[in-house]
Chains A and B, each alone.
Chain A
Amino acid sequence: MTPMTKIPFATAVLGMIATVAIGADHIDPAVGAAIKARQSHMQLFAFNLGTLGGMAQGKIEYDADAAQIAASNLDALASVDFHPYFVVGSSSADASDTRALPAIWEDPEGVLAALAKLQGATAEMAGSAGGGLEGLQAAMSALGGACGACHQAYRAPAN
């Protein structure tokens, strides 16, 4: 190897080492922020579901106003545009603190269809939660089904 070719070669090797080192120790801050944001969004779902589920199970006394607020919140949460949360490079194959399967990026139509199901279920809940406990309980199944179906297809098992 001549000195003239050694320099680009060495630069390339150093570049590779740097890439590997960064990949191992740090994830792109934008990726980390997106993962955190979408997990927080899921927490907001869980928080509002807690009100509805507590009433459905009889742990909390049924209150039409509180039920309606929680159901409307869920409906609003489901209507958010999720695209910015799922930046490329933030799957469970890229980062350790997420269970979002690469299938999300491989099958966007499937994800959107699952999201449409969720929106249908939250709309149904928003239409019935304030009208009585029985309607609320009946709407829980479809809602659980919509959450579960998407998790089944697009989320890695725990641990």
Chain B
Amino acid sequence: MSFSAWSALLAAVALLAVVLLKPDPLANTFFEGLAGDADRGALVFAAAGCASCHTAPGAEPSETPVLTGGRRFASPFGTFAAPNISSGPQGLGNWSDIDIANAILLGEGLNRTHLYPALPYSAYRNMTRQDAADLIAYLRTLPPANTPNQPHDVGFPFNIRLGIGVWKVFFNRGDWILETVQSPEMERGRYLVEVLGHCGECHTPRGILGGLDRSRWLAGAPNPAGQGQIPNITPGKLGWSTEEIVEFLSTGFTPEFDTAGGQMAEVIAGLARLPQSDLEAIAAYLKAVPALD
């Protein structure tokens, strides 16, 4: 082949890659026939732990959290800054419901850009349409914040957003980890842990490309913030009873009456708002995942 033929082929492959790796948005009819209920959305918001990343650094738990953004999350790929997702124009004020759903469920920002998986959309992608509608209705009731978004501090090559498209092909799979569940309670627990709670994002170790190692599901991982270890919460290490797990998730107290620290304290501030039956469902799920050392 001549040089120009090679160049043409290369250009075609590059073009194909760009087209294939651009995200496909949700259909405009995604929310057809659904009305979002903000009161129910408050519980989706609590279970999904949105406040623990999107409130301002050091913000106190609140009934009406201000989703200012600005917290910074260190990782081996760079430091990510949580954006403003408040109801104001600096946040999601000018985003349509479909725009917001594209971000949460598909990791797709405005103008078909890929969002970094610091936003756990590979968990949220199995959120029910009703939960997504309720969550968005709730987000719109929260106060505006006028703080502009901070840039992420991510170096080459991870600053090339198209690369996230490749990451999604490998790691954004959408199938369940626990394939079969025996009861409605277990099914609810699976939904809360694998989808809304996105527990695996911290409790499961990652490979070199940042994808979750599904063979080590919930078996503990180094803390990306540097200090300490995120614990193994499979039955291989966590010997707590169902009641003890429920107590921990509602109050933060361990069976020894020590307390959750770090990010987990903020997770619990959200989980404590859920009905007891949801916390029992989480406990039932945690008892059923493969026991790993």
Contacts and interface: CB of A to CB of B under 8 A. Distances in A.
Interface stretch (A10-18, A19-27, A30-38, A45-53): A45-53
Interface stretch (A1-9, A75-83, A126-134, A143-151): A143-151
B250 interface: yes
A57 interface: yes
A58 B243 contact: yes
Contacts of B259: 144, 147-148, 151
A95 B262 CA distance: 21
B95 to A, nearest CB: 31
Contacts of B252: 144-145, 147-148
Contact of A49 (B60, B228, B257): B257
B251 A140 contact: yes
Of residues B227, B246, B265, B266, which shows the largest number of chain A Cβ atoms within 10 Å of its Cβ? B265
Given A149-B265, A152-B265, A155-B261, A144 B227 contact: no
Contacts of B251: 53, 56, 140-141, 143-145
B243 A148 contact: no
Contacts of B246: 57
Of residues A45, A46, A53, A56, which shows the largest number of chain B Cβ atoms within 10 Å of its Cβ? A53
A145 B229 contact: no
Contacts of A53: 247, 251, 253, 257
A156 interface: yes
Interface residues of A, number: 26
A145 B272 contact: yes
Nearest to B269: A145
Interface in A65-83: none
A46 B229 contact: no
A152 B247 contact: no
Given A151-B259, A151-B265, A157-B228, A145 B253 contact: no
Interface residues of B, number: 27
A156 B226 CA distance: 11
A46 B261 contact: no
B164 interface: no
B250 A46 contact: no
Given A141-B250, A157-B223, A148 B260 contact: yes
Given A152-B261, A157-B261, A141 B227 contact: no
Contacts of B247: 53, 56-57, 140
Interface in A105-159: 140-141, 143-145, 147-149, 151-153, 155-159
B185 interface: no
A57 B244 contact: yes
A144 B266 CA distance: 12
A120 to B, nearest CB: 13
A152 B262 CA distance: 5
Contacts of B257: 45-47, 49-50, 53
A159 B228 CA distance: 6
B252 to A, nearest CB: 4
A148 B268 contact: yes
Of residues A59, A143, A152, A158, which shows the largest number of chain B Cβ atoms within 10 Å of its Cβ? A152
10 contacts: A56-B251, A57-B247, A140-B250, A144-B250, A147-B252, A149-B265, A151-B265, A152-B266, A155-B261, A157-B262
Interface of A: 45-47, 49-50, 53, 56-59, 140-141, 143-145, 147-149, 151-153, 155-159
Interface of B: 58, 60-61, 223, 227-229, 243-244, 246-247, 250-253, 256-262, 265-266, 268-269, 272
Closest 6 CB pairs of A and B: A157-B228, A144-B251, A46-B257, A148-B252, A144-B252, A148-B265
Given A140-B247, A140-B250, 9 more contacts: A56-B247, A141-B250, A141-B272, A145-B251, A149-B265, A151-B261, A152-B261, A153-B58, A157-B229
